[in-house]
Amino acid sequence: MPLFTLDEVRKTFTNGEIKEEILKGINLSLKEGEITALVGASGSGKSTLLTIAAGLQPATNGQVVFNGNNIATMNDEQIRQIRASEFGFVFQFAHLVPFLTVEEQLLLMLDVSESKLNKHEQKTEIDRILKLVEMEHRKDAYPSSLSGGEKQRVAIARAIIHKPKILFADEPTASLDSKKSKDVMMLIRELTKTLNITTLMVTHDEEMLSYVDRVVKMSDGLVIEK
């Protein structure tokens, strides 16, 4: 059984009188440990699909099945719990908490996911992950003093520190230059492979596709395997 399945997912936005169906029956399964890239023209509905999959907005129709449970029928609190402990997020911007140091960003995530680790184990885990993203030397820095690439690496660290089952990434390299983009991509690949995290990632950068296992394309509100 796949870890995550979208089954006939539809999404309609209503702007006044105009109804627009952006997703017209999406069927997509994610295989455990795989990195799936979602590509397609701007405005084709990639972000909409990703956020529905991540439980950040509801679908108009269809099923979002994670671990055998249909997220579409869960209440807000149940979805929040899944987001907090089973999902990780990376977006175009790092969205770090401005008044927390790098280390505290990760501590907060462990807090939110109700980590079972004790204080000492948490520190060790944070050190380990920060080493992986090569940010251990900026442990006590605030986001305002980090470069774009550094922020994104902290955001990635925050997205995986609680060992989520699935990592959702929406154009994580869009705000970075091409050299940094490659670094971040390589980092995501390395981390998700070592930690066995399943990844769904939106990208419009052809260069990034060499780092993923599978590419699906959005077109006319449907996905096609590439």
Partner 1 sequence: MNLAWKEMKKNKARFLILGSIVFLVSLLTFIISGLANGLSQDNAALIKDLPKGQFYMTKDSDQTYNLSKIDASTEDKILKNTQDAVAFSIQMGFLNDPGEKQRSVAFVTSTNTKSKLFPNIKKGEVVLDSSMKDKGIKIGDALTNNQYSGKLTVKGFVEQKKFSHAPVAYININDYKEIYRVKEMQLVFVPGDKSPKHITGLQSFSKKEFLNTIPSFNAEQMSLNMIVWFLVIISGMLFAIFFYMMNVQKIGLYGILKAIGIKTRKLFQMMWTQMVFITIISLVLSIAFSQIFNLVAPKGMPFSLTFETTFLLSIVFLIIGFIGATLSGIQIRKVEPLQAIQQGEV
CB of 210 to partner 1, least distance (A): 27
Q: Does 43 bind ligand ADP (CB under 6 A)?
A: yes
DSSP bridge partners of 146: none
Q: Which is closer to ligand ADP, CB of 47 or CB of 113?
A: 47
Q: Does 47 bind Mg ion (CB under 5 A)?
A: yes
Q: Which stretch binds ligand ADP (CB under 6 A): 45-53, 88-96, 106-114, 160-168?
A: 45-53
Token duo for residue 28: 């997509």
Q: Does 46 bind ligand ADP (CB under 6 A)?
A: yes
Q: Which stretch binds Mg ion (CB under 5 A): 16-24, 47-55, 118-126, 136-144?
A: 47-55
Give me the residues that bind partner 1 (CB under 8 A), please. 47, 51, 56-57, 80-81, 83-85, 87, 89, 91-95, 97-100, 104, 107-109, 111-113, 142, 158, 170
Q: Which of residues 13-32 bind ligand ADP (CB under 6 A)?
A: 13, 15, 22
Binding positions for ligand ADP, rule: CB under 6 A: 13, 15, 22, 40, 42-48
